[in-house]
Amino acid sequence: MKMKWKVVCLLAVFILDVLCVKAMYDSYSDTKNTLFLPADAGAEAKDKVREQFSGSNQIALTFDDGPHSVYTQRLLDGLRKRGVHATFFLLGENIDGKEAIVKQMQADGHLIGNHGYSHVQMSKESVKTACEQIEENNQKIEKITGVRPQYLRPPYGSWNVELECTTNMSVVLWDVDPLDWKSKNTKKIVRHIVKHVEPGDIILLHDVYSTSVEAALEVIDTLSKQGYTFVTVDELMID
Ligand SMILES: [Zn+2]
- 206 is annotated as an active-site residue: yes
pLDDT at 11: 57
Distance in Å, CA 30 to ligand 1 centroid = 37
39-238 is classed in which CATH architecture? Alpha-Beta Barrel (3.20)
Distance in Å, CA 49 to ligand 1 centroid = 25
The yes-or-no verdict on residue 82 having pLDDT over 90 is yes
User: Domain extents for the chain?
Assistant: 1-32, 39-238
Distance in Å, CA 115 to ligand 1 centroid = 7
Instruction: Give the span between the Cα atoms of 96 and 192, in whole angstroms.
Output: 33
Angle at 26 between CA 25 and CA 28, to 5 degrees: 65
Distance in Å, CA 137 to ligand 1 centroid = 14
Strands 87-90 and 170-171: unpaired
- 192 is annotated as an active-site residue: no
Per-residue pLDDT band for 81 (boundaries 50, 70, 90) equals very high
Percent of the chain residues past pLDDT 70, beyond the cut: 74
**Closest by Cα among 112, 203, 118 to 154:** 118
pLDDT in tens, 113-133: 999 999 999 989 888 899 999
**Cβ(87)–Cβ(59) below 8 Å:** no
CA atoms within 13 A on the CB side of 57: 8
pLDDT in tens, 10-39: 556 555 554 544 444 333 333 222 223 444
pLDDT in tens, 182-229: 999 999 999 999 999 999 999 999 999 999 999 999 999 999 999 999
pLDDT at 31: 28
Distance in Å, CA 186 to ligand 1 centroid = 19
Q: What is the DSSP track for 75-117?
A: HHHHHHHHT---EEEE-GGGTTT-HHHHHHHHHTT-EEEE--S
Per-residue pLDDT band for 95 (boundaries 50, 70, 90) equals very high
In the set 201, 206, 221, 239, the catalytic residue is 206
- Write a three-state SS string for 19-34: HHHHHHHHHHHHHHCC
- Give helix 127-145 / helix 99-107 axis angle, nearest 10°: 70
